[in-house]
Amino acid sequence: MATTKVLVVEDYAPLADSLEYQLKRAGYEVTRASDGREAVNLAKLTLPDVIILDVDLPVLSGIDVCRLVRNDPSTKDTLILMLSAMGEESDQVVGFAMGADDYVVKPVESYKVLLQRLKALLRRRERVSEDSEQVLHQGVMVDRRRFTVTVNEQSLNLTKSEFKLLETLIRQPGRAFARAELVDAALGEDTMVLDRTIDVHVRALRKKMGEAADLIETVRGVGYKFRE
């Protein structure tokens, strides 16, 4: 665990101190930033495995930091665990839509729980590594090399767009993808279509998945996610 690098982005020093202490005690290598701009610069410089990111930051908000990290090729795959005193579902949806992998509401009442959430994120990334040829989750197997999909060992006949759409969703279960992101993933960044076009592909994919269709969940006002 000592080689796992964590960037803590928190402007409230007592909480940042506690996070740093608990993470170092658990064997993580820790760097800190106290505002959004510093966080973006440090992320590019240190290339952390995980960013623990407060939402309410000076200079740049955590949401802006999340968006910039996701849009930079050098940091786009970095895990992001957001912290916020705002527990409203709408705030969490915005965080996930910008690319957050998990969301913890402050105050942090249990560092043990936070560390377990962090470990779960790291395990999930290992399981769905971009370098892996196969992804298996809840009975759905996606094989990128063979370009095949099975549901409970039954083969599906998918179009190229449907395959890319499913692969994008299943590699990060629980993460909400905006429709625009899924258009880019399934149809290509240069495709000039309406975001709602992805709804047509999702309906077709769900129909082919049969009883497993409900594994692709609608996130109201955002897009879709694969059930965690």
Domain termination site, one of 127, 146, 168: 127
pLDDT for res 187: 64
Residue ranges of the chain whose pLDDT lies below 70: 1-2, 86-92, 124-132, 186-195
- Is residue 20 located within the same domain as residue 77? yes
pLDDT for res 34: 95
pLDDT for res 225: 93
Span 103-117, pLDDT tens digits: 887 777 778 888 888
- Is residue 113 located within the same domain as residue 156? no
- Is residue 144 located within the same domain as residue 171? yes
pLDDT for res 194: 55
Number of domains making up the chain: 2
Q: Which residue has the tokens 């939402």?
A: 55
Question: Identity (one letter) of the amino acid at 197?
Answer: T
- Is residue 122 located within the same domain as residue 177? no
Span 46-90, pLDDT tens digits: 889 999 999 889 999 998 999 999 888 888 889 999 887 765 556
Give residue 194's Cα distance to chain centre: 24
Which two tokens mark 162? 């449907």
- Is residue 45 located within the same domain as residue 81? yes
Rounded (10°) angle between helices 36-46 and 62-71 = 30
pLDDT for res 181: 79
Indicate the pTM of the whole model: 0.56
- Is residue 197 located within the same domain as residue 96? no
Full domain range(s) for residue 91? 5-127
Domain termination site, one of 127, 150, 181: 127
- Is residue 20 located within the same domain as residue 106? yes
- Is residue 44 located within the same domain as residue 121? yes
pLDDT for res 190: 43
Rounded Cα distance, 189 and 181, in Å: 9
The closest of 165, 163, 170, 179 to 218, measured between CA atoms, is 179
- Is residue 98 located within the same domain as residue 182? no
- Is residue 217 located within the same domain as residue 104? no
Close Cβ partners of 166 (under 8 Å, ≥ 6 residues apart) = 140, 142, 149, 158, 205, 216
Domain termination site, one of 86, 111, 127: 127
- Is residue 60 located within the same domain as residue 122? yes
- Is residue 152 located within the same domain as residue 115? no
| CATH code for position 174 | 1.10.10.10
Give the β-pairing of 79-84 and 50-54: parallel
Q: What are phi and psi of 159, to 5 degrees?
A: -75, 170
| CATH code for position 82 | 3.40.50.2300
